[in-house]
Amino acid sequence: MTDPVTTTETPSETSKPEAAPGESRAFAANVARLLHMMVHSVYSDRDVFLRELISNAADACERLRYEAIANPGLLGDDPKPRITLAIDADAHRLTLEDNGIGMSRAELIQALGTIAHSGTKAFLERLDAAQGDTTNLIGQFGVGFYSAFMVADKVDVISRRAGSDEAWQWSSDGKGTFTVTPVELAEAPARGTRVVLHLMEDAKPYTERFRLQRIIKDQSGHVPVPITLIDKPGGEASEVTDGAALWTKPKSEITADEYTDFYRSAAGQFDTPALTIHVHAEGRQEYSLLAFVPSVKPFDLSDPERKGRLKLYVKRVFITDDAEILPRYLRFVRGLVDSADLPLNVSREMIQESPVLAAIRKSVTGRVLSVLEKLAGRDGTAYADVWANFGAVLKEGLCEDFERRETLLGLARFKTTASGDDWRSLKDYAGALRENQTAIYYIAGDDAARLAASPHLEGFRARGIEVLLLDDPVDSFWVTLGPDFEGKPFRSVTQGAADLAAIPLLDASTPAAPEVPPAVADFLAFIKTSLGDDVADVRASDRLTDSAVCIVASEAGPDRQLEKILASAGRLGTAAKPILEVNPRHERIVRLAGLGEQEQSLREDVAHLLLDEARILDGDRPRDPRTYVERLGRLIGRGLPAAG
């Protein structure tokens, strides 16, 4: 091997790599600064260096495959592509070798000196001007190889181009210069490239077999080239990946068991997927989607950060599992997207702003929702199981995704006062509207059984009006954002006046809105005076048929359940005064209205007890439990016989 010749000349930006054998060259700009930016600005995970090197190796194998179409002799007697990773823990060395196209001396200088050749100064200027948005620049300038210097204080690249009888070595410590020297053929690969990393002391864990296997499977498990690992000098090679990417195969060639095995491996789940979505999209965006809806709730479904769990690949190379490919209300979907259009060397920090990813995101979201719609129309029972698991999450989209609100409302399923244990769609609800019914009625709370027993529903049941029972926390929010279904707005039965008089009762013999007797009207006025600032109003109710009282929210503020949620979260300043509705036909109310003025103290106690009764029926506690008990005690005492 010829000794390198050192020179201090800096090649111009336009100079061609016409260096003599054994020449040492200076990078054309401040590489130390560039490497600092690579390590600290572009990549946040050191493991990524292996992904970058494997990506380069896979590309080299792909290039050979294409060139061999015209020149089959390039393959020689070694037609099968491969990537081999070899560990030498004692020497702190990690070697990655491929049998791809390889590089000549000029290609080595150009490819690994791309920064200098393409203009480091221009790159750095544009990097600064981008203010962090380097999505396109990274791929354009091809600086991914330099991530190797995150773990190595020296890198040797030995390469022999397919069909050539020369081999060359590129070496650098990443601090300003690199050398290119000729290599004896016996010391070089028969074809392809060998990258030798002389690891830093703190990078020694990258010589651990199981760590490398995990990184390869997680980040590069589906590149189209088999990857083998040799865990010690002279050791046997063992296959880590077979080079087959399941999502690239036609669906007709993949069995249900293969889908399930892939799902369990990729998602870390142990169930069988309830739904498999496999799409090869072509057109303005080319990508493959392999996604699964679990049949059981994933453990991280309630993650406060509500992150999605779709992995992103670019040309079968893993990029990140943090890309927001699906909106957060679809975070239960597991799987991956493999794009053919995104730059390969793109960081997880910068990828979110890519316009290509934005287009893919929109397309993938539409496809997932479309498949859910088809399942709902094709197999209502299977879809009901999906909704039972993930409906509460899907409904978050009604608060966040206004563009797709109509689709999400169509997908929504509800338990109602008419459904029993079955789920009802809004289309089902709309088909059962009563005469003169102009709204979709709902009651929100945190317990479906208590909601179904609420006195607020009595007048609606008497008229055969179906009411949605909404017991998910998100329900109290999306219904307030002004949605409607087929022109019918959503209306809470615990807010404002019921306005049920126009809807006929099922029992036609019962008066819809009988006159309130004068004595009862006087008693309601007395209750309002006695309660004072505790209520906004006391009025006769047309929603009550069996219960004596209920409490409702005013028309202007939030409904009762939303008010409770906001109050518990400390986001409600002053709670609105409730409205006490009294059933003027209830026997107890009629009898209480008949008490004379000589029973003034009893009437006052009853007024407050009626309000506390309404609070208890609404799931609250009396405002002043001690006073409530004292009043109740006085009332009980009046009914007891005198002590003998």
262 in a labelled binding site: no
Residues 465 and 460: their CA atoms lie apart, in Å, by 5
Beta strands across the sheet bearing 334-339 = 275-281, 287-293, 334-339, 309-314, 317-320
- Whether residue 538 contacts residue 554, with contact meaning beta carbons closer than 8 Å, is answered with no
103 in a labelled binding site: yes
56 in a labelled binding site: yes
Closest to 553 in 3D by CA, of 567, 537, 569, 542: 537
149 in a labelled binding site: no
Bridge-based pairing of strands 238-241 and 275-281 is unpaired
Residues 82 and 376: their CA atoms lie apart, in Å, by 45
SS (H, E, C) 97-133: EECCCCCCHHHHHHHHCHHHHHCHHHHHHHHHHHCCC
- Whether residue 80 contacts residue 90, with contact meaning beta carbons closer than 8 Å, is answered with no
Closest to 448 in 3D by CA, of 425, 478, 414: 414
Residues 548 and 382: their CA atoms lie apart, in Å, by 43
Backbone dihedral angles phi then psi of residue 339, each to the nearest 5 degrees: -100, 140
Please state, in angstroms and as integers, the Cα–Cα distance from residue 418 to each residue in 145, 236, 388, following that order.
Answer: 64, 68, 18
425 in a labelled binding site: no
Residues 289 and 275: their CA atoms lie apart, in Å, by 13
145 in a labelled binding site: yes
Residues 6+ apart with CB under 8 A from 25: 7, 11, 19, 109, 113, 116, 177, 178, 179, 180
Roughly what angle, to the nearest 10 degrees, separates helices 625-639 and 600-617?
120
- The DSSP call for residue 344 is S
Both tokens of 522, joined, read 């006087």
Torsion sign (Cα): 122, 123, 127, 130: positive
142 in a labelled binding site: yes
345 in a labelled binding site: no
52 in a labelled binding site: yes
Both tokens of 315, joined, read 């040309």
E strand or H helix at 393: helix 380-394
140 in a labelled binding site: yes
Residues 631 and 435: their CA atoms lie apart, in Å, by 44
522 in a labelled binding site: no
Q: How many other C-beta atoms lie within 10 A of the C-beta of residue 449?
A: 9
532 in a labelled binding site: no
DSSP per residue over 180-199, as a string?
Answer: EEEE-GGGS-SSEEEEEEEE
Q: Within the chain, what is the greatest distance between any pair of CA atoms?
A: 124
Residues in the annotated binding site: 52, 56, 98, 103, 118-119, 140-145, 193, 348
Residues in the annotated binding site for ATP: 52, 56, 98, 103, 118-119, 140-145, 193, 348
